[in-house]
Amino acid sequence: MIEHSDSNGLTQSMKLAFQVWASAAICAALIFASASPLSAEGCYICKPGSSEACKHYCRYRGDDDWENRKKCQNAGCDIAGTASCPNGGNYQVCYVMDALHILAMRYGILLNSVAP
């Protein structure tokens, strides 16, 4: 059987092979993403009088536990309660995560396999 190439020099079997490969890659990525545990993040509401860096919220990674509360208190947040983290730019939020996780959060990268 003689295969004819299109204007880009691709044959039908080359196109089909690429489609199969691309479909398999997408499926593998979806399976990997759904099997990875997501790391939890949250925020503590900081009372008036907290440090300037933690004027409104303190963002932490992991569970709401004594260790994260202590980190936020050490950063200058007088904790009033918990909340979902704000997305607006009109809030002052301090972070008690390591630098790698702060950068990943800023650029939307999941770091499921990297220890905190």
- Tens of pLDDT along the chain (116 residues)? 555 666 666 677 767 776 777 676 675 565 554 443 445 689 999 999 999 999 999 999 888 999 999 999 999 999 999 999 988 888 999 988 766 766 776 677 665 544 44
Task: Determine the Cα–Cα distance for residues 26 and 22; give it in Å rounded to an integer.
Answer: 6
What's the token pair of residue 102?
């702060």
DSSP character for 93?
A: E
